[in-house]
Structure 1
Amino acid sequence: MPNREIHPQVEAYLKRIRYEGPLDGSAEALAGLQRAHLMAVPYENLDILNGVPLSLDPEALWDKIVRRRRGGYCFELNALFGWLLRELGYPVTDYVARFWRDETALPPKRRHHVLKVEAEGAFYLCDVGVGGAVPRRPPLLQDGLEQEQGGECYRLDRDAAFGWFLSERKRGEWGRVYSFTEEPQLKDDYAFASFWCQHAPESPFRAGALLAICTPEGRNTGAGEEIRLFRGGEVTVLTPPTKAEYAAALKMYFGIDIPEAEAPQGKE
């Protein structure tokens, strides 16, 4: 697929993620788009904490993420990224996943949005909506293939009960990240899951700030009052003591510019 004329909203999206590579429908372009997105758009649940209703409508998501330069969580980020990929000519299928990372028992809810994307006759798993370590390059959807990337390693395995498992290797051990079956999802399927995430008392998205963005040296993450900066093998932990300092840290480390009063942590 050759480079093509693009809609102004698509052009603004590409500028938002600072992507200047080819738009030729290739697997390499797909990888570049995902990496650029992860480096520019933060994972964040601040609207949920502040009681701001979320919309999964593409126009509303474009306004929030592109025009207002905010982030979001999986149901927002992967919905809009899927829209972008379709606008660029990629065939995209939406799935819902069951999150296993850091779980000690069977996860009861399927609460994660992922994308299967076709490029050059092959299928890839695309995901820009995980609040932690995540493949920067879309892994090939191939059973049992270990895929090294940037000092990390991922693998997709078929399972009779849960479909595909995405696993990550840490310190020589494999751990499950999430699982998904190949049942295409409709818009209302995500609205139902997102409503639970926003309103259920036991939802992890209501318990405290969750933040993540990739950087050239590693990644920045936030959980509750802490912000962690990963640089190679080193981790710096910050705990901004006031709302003003927390809001400043959000802007510095995640590119999130919100009023001080909306900062979810710190004292007045």
Structure 2
Amino acid sequence: MLPKKQDADTQSEIRAYFNRLGLPPPEDEPSCTRALLEQLQLAHVTRIPYENLDILAGRPLPMTWQGQFQKMVANRRGGYCFELNGLFANLLSALGYEVTTYMGRFLRGETTIPMRRHRVIRAVCAEGTFICDVGVGQSAPRYPLELVPGRIQEQFGETYKITREPFFGYVIHDLHRGQWRRFYSFTEEEQLDIDFVMPSFYCEKSPDSIFNKALMLSIKTLDGRKTIDGQLFRTFSGDGVAENRIASATELNALLQEHFNLDPPGLDQAGDFLARSQARA
């Protein structure tokens, strides 16, 4: 984890991270405020995408700060929840926030109780305690949610609340077509980087995993998100959903650069990704 006491190397990494987020370099000791937390999370979800390219390529995913920084900042890639929220948690800790990471259950769309396979960040500053999450490819908060059960929290045309339940612990809900639905839950056992190795291995390698079948990419916009699901590129906005089928490796790589802020793979690998995604599209 990045040390809270910032030496020259740490400051250099933080400046590189802010540059990846499209933000100006921070002060040497920035104030840990709610406003900065909101600025950072919004920049993160609109600049560093949710993606599974390494899983499809068979490359092990990094569960350490050093590996995540190299992949997503230095090499201009994205990741999924274990990686994205691991990277973000370390940044917040280095900036001076009090940070704890938890394991959560992703509940949206589930009819039975699912395994714990989602990484969650709690960040504390003088203005309150917040749940931060930059690792969800579906619709999700662009700003941190204040950890206050029962409070209705609106942002970017979306509405959320947090409740507590005896089994699930804290439960994040979103308002969908006039009805509250469970989003994800977590309990308050602190998790270390090593605790995410086993669930990530399941997501990477299990034949039952949804993550190793086809292309899955998503990046937020101010009024929606852009996704690649299999061979389909979609843009969600206030005007609805626009959909196009990706016809070639060259087109895929152009989309990755233009819409997902990624350095693309070689054309042969991009073509392999599309071929593996054919059944899903």
Aligned to 1:27: 34
The answer on 1:250 being equivalent to 2:259 is no
Task: Give the match's secondary structure for 1:94.
Answer: strand
Aligned to 2:135: 129
Aligned to 2:12: 8
**Which deviations, in whole Å up to 9, do the C-alpha atoms of 1:206-243 show, x marking residues without a partner?**
12111111123421012112111012132111111222
Contact kept in structure 2, 1:42 and 1:72, CA below 8 Å: yes
Moved more, 250-259 or 143-152: 250-259
Contact kept in structure 2, 1:74 and 1:112, CA below 8 Å: yes
What is the RMSD of the two structures over their aligned residues, measured on CA atoms? 1.7
For residues 78 and 174 of structure 2, the distance between their equivalents in structure 1, rounded to whole angstroms, comes to: 24
Runs of 5+ unmatched residues, structure 2: 1-5, 277-281
Task: Give the match's secondary structure for 1:48.
Answer: helix
Task: Give the match's secondary structure for 2:211.
Answer: helix
Write the mapping of 1:1-268 to structure 2, written as runs, cut at 5 A.
Answer: 7-20=11-24, 23-107=30-114, 109-256=115-262, 257-263=264-270, 264-265=273-274
**Which deviations, in whole Å up to 9, do the C-alpha atoms of 1:107-144 show, x marking residues without a partner?**
1x100001000021511000000011110110100111
For residues 112 and 67 of structure 2, the distance between their equivalents in structure 1, rounded to whole angstroms, comes to: 36
For residues 90 and 148 of structure 2, the distance between their equivalents in structure 1, rounded to whole angstroms, comes to: 24
Runs of 5+ unmatched residues, structure 1: none
Task: State the one-letter code of the partner of 1:13.
Answer: Y
Task: State the one-letter code of the partner of 2:166.
Answer: A
* TM-score of the two chains, using structure 2 as the length reference: 0.89
- Where does structure 1 differ by over 2 angstroms across 4 or more consecutive aligned residues? 19-23
> Residue 16 of structure 1: CA displacement?
0.5
Task: State the one-letter code of the partner of 1:56.
Answer: M
Moved more, 201-210 or 254-263: 254-263
Task: Give the match's secondary structure for 1:207.
Answer: coil
Contact kept in structure 1, 2:156 and 2:223, CA below 8 Å: no
For residues 194 and 29 of structure 1, the distance between their equivalents in structure 2, rounded to whole angstroms, comes to: 30
Contact kept in structure 2, 1:43 and 1:211, CA below 8 Å: yes
How many residues are treated as equivalent by the alignment?
263
Task: Give the match's secondary structure for 1:204.
Answer: coil
